[in-house]
Amino acid sequence: MAIVVWFKRDLRVADHGPLLAAARSGQPVIPLYVVEPGYWQQPDTSQRQWAFVEITG
């Protein structure tokens, strides 16, 4: 069975705990990211973070 790793705000892959655990499981891994513009407009996020999401999507 495949393992879904849902990326929210933490988009790093080098030290992403759940992604590492999924990769080590030996099962297929499905990375999932859902664009939620409202989520990135919260006061504790930055324009730089949203710009990164826009250019990598």
Model confidence pLDDT, tens digit, residues 7-49: 887 778 889 999 999 999 999 999 998 887 787 778 888 888 7
pLDDT score at 27: 98
Alpha carbon distance 10, 37 (integer Å): 15
The amino acid occupying position 40 is: W
The amino acid occupying position 43 is: P
Per-residue pLDDT band for 57 (boundaries 50, 70, 90) equals low
* pLDDT higher than 80, residue 2: yes
* pLDDT higher than 70, residue 1: yes
